[in-house]
A and B are shown apart, each in its own frame.
Chain A
């Protein structure tokens, strides 16, 4: 990109226009939405490097720990960011996580379905619910805030009511034994690069348990999903026609429609995206814990939106990036885990989360003015 703009630059420099000036790399960087989040994450790592550098936070086990938390949040934050760029919100993410959890657990435990069919069932429900959210917003023209707030209550209530009706409890345990030999569950439940960690352990490079196996057994599935989704979302946004439509739909709905962008379809697909991401999150957590809980995912929608905002997404749509949201999630994940390694009381985490978001919004607002101001 920069190479291209340079060549146009030089072509024009030889021309007649004297108003041209070289765009410094700094200026190009300033125009990227993820700048704030990048700076923020560097600061966070420097801070914990100094404060908690010798506490084991950055050991293999500690690192994987905060990466796992970041990655889980990141999976939903990326989907939330794409939807925000498309100009809408989804407040039902957290409830969808709880709902997807019981969609996996109840058929598998109580109805005797093979685990993989219940996982597919959960994803099918997610597509349906996402589609419903989308079609409601697109057809009624109501703010997505209201539509998905309603869905937040409906899904959470349904999760609780259905679970109690069928099981008489609010938790559905007993999934762990079903994971083995399942053709799909391993996608959400297997630590990868185990050989590497075993090897590192045998070389005494990482901490070992008393039985000689390494404390950190492999890269958790959340991290792999997180990296894959970040790359996929970035590819979509930056490199595809559909990505351009997402920016256009969020930037100016009427204008985009007038030039032939199928705004309704784009928005519906993004709502399906957040519901599916919530279900990926639910699969990972439910299979990791071995049980589904009706309260799982509570308030996650707000954390996802906060991470997206810290990552540079504008609340008004049309601007933002997936990498930014990923960095936003890393900031929150790192701080929420890192705070245990410091002397600071963990109660302060929410204060930090709020302050960080406020700073990000002010900063983003300033950047937007910078980007759109007429020169």
Chain B
């Protein structure tokens, strides 16, 4: 048994002539949070969809618990325990917390052909799970639309964990959130990892990623710029590697130049 829970080796994905991903390698241990950093267009979305089983990689292999795996559908990825929380969260705001939590996987009771959705059980589990992460679900039959952005994010993560995710893939979980809400979500992510999950945190926000990540993979124009342990890299170095760095330096120079001209 290798020390890694899941390995993505040399993953490539092409769309016609476009090389969306080239030789991206990521390895995760249990309890590890790997942050996948990259600017817009770096190939983050393609990579997520490949991890989630939406796209099939054109090259490379996925090894999960020492077994080579081929995903034919998102369902396959879910079944072996790769739980993906997309940016849109797959939550229906008009539906209740409970109905969202169990959407697609409702517990049932009763005789065949007369099976009913076991709402009481579902309510209890949903309230309990949300309670564990410190979210006050006033009433599990309240609509998800009444929850804050951070609470919704936590609900979606909590749902993925409840349904057996061993690897959590989180797509920009903090991008739409304020500082307070973001820190609530990040805290929850750390807690989930400490319980033995491997987390892939996709973000373009180094300030959110750096405090919680154990390792960092930087993606730029479809290629991996390498994976770094936290002790080996600083926040500033990461930022400049995300292509943003050079350009921000350039921007700074240009702004100074403009300033100088104006003052003259």
Contact = CB atoms under 8 A, between A and B. Distances in A.
A248 B95 contact: yes
Interface in B48-77: 74-75
Contacts of B86: 258
Contacts of B147: 374
A245 B104 contact: yes
Given A372-B94, A375-B146, A259 B115 contact: no
B116 to A, nearest CB: 5
A371 B88 contact: no
B74 A19 contact: no
Given A5-B141, A247-B95, A371-B146, 11 more contacts: A4-B120, A9-B139, A17-B136, A19-B136, A239-B117, A240-B115, A241-B106, A248-B95, A256-B104, A259-B105, A375-B146
A5 B140 contact: yes
A19 B94 CA distance: 22
Given A255-B89, A258-B74, A240 B117 contact: yes
- Contact residue range for chain A? 35 or more
A244 B99 contact: yes
Given A23-B138, A371-B143, A374-B146, A255 B117 contact: no
B206 interface: no
Given A19-B136, A244-B117, A372-B145, A318 B92 contact: yes
Interface in B102-124: 102-106, 108, 115-117, 119-120, 123
Interface in B135-155: 136-141, 143, 145-149
B78 interface: yes
Main secondary structure of the interface of B (DSSP, over half): loop
Nearest to B105: A260
Contacts of B145: 371-374
Contacts of A4: 119-120, 123, 141
Contacts of B159: 259
Most B CB contacts (10 A, CB to CB) among A21, A23, A252, A261 go to A252
Contact of B92 (A23, A239, A243, A247): A247
A81 B24 CA distance: 49
B93 interface: yes
A20 interface: yes
Contact of A371 (B84, B94, B106): B94
Contacts of A31: 143
Contact of A251 (B94, B106, B116, B139): B94
B104 A248 contact: yes
B103 A372 contact: no
Contacts of B99: 244, 247-248
B253 interface: no
A238 to B, nearest CB: 8
Most B CB contacts (10 A, CB to CB) among A23, A239, A255, A319 go to A255
A372 B143 contact: yes
B89 to A, nearest CB: 7
B111 to A, nearest CB: 13
B146 A248 contact: no
Most B CB contacts (10 A, CB to CB) among A19, A239, A251, A258 go to A258
A252 B92 contact: yes
Contacts of A12: 136, 138
B173 to A, nearest CB: 15
Given A241-B117, A245-B104, A260-B105, A20 B90 contact: no
A184 B139 CA distance: 47
B94 A1 contact: no
A368 interface: yes
A254 interface: yes
A181 to B, nearest CB: 32
B127 interface: yes
Contacts of B108: 241
Most A CB contacts (10 A, CB to CB) among B84, B90, B94, B137 go to B94
A260 B78 contact: yes
Contacts of B103: 244, 248, 255-256, 259, 261
B91 interface: yes
Nearest to A33: B94
A8 interface: yes
A8 B127 contact: yes
A349 to B, nearest CB: 33
Nearest to A319: B94
B119 A1 contact: yes
A251 B146 contact: no
A314 B145 CA distance: 15
B90 A255 contact: yes
5 contacts: A8-B123, A20-B138, A241-B115, A252-B92, A258-B84
Interface string A4-20: 11001100100001011
Nearest to B78: A260
Interface in A147-165: none
Contact of B90 (A1, A19, A243, A259): A259
A324 to B, nearest CB: 14
A343 to B, nearest CB: 43
A180 B148 CA distance: 63
A82 to B, nearest CB: 16
Given A241-B117, A244-B117, A251 B105 contact: no
A243 B148 contact: no
Nearest to B116: A239
A225 to B, nearest CB: 21
Given A239-B117, A372-B146, A5 B94 contact: no
Contacts of B136: 12, 17, 19-20
Nearest to A5: B139
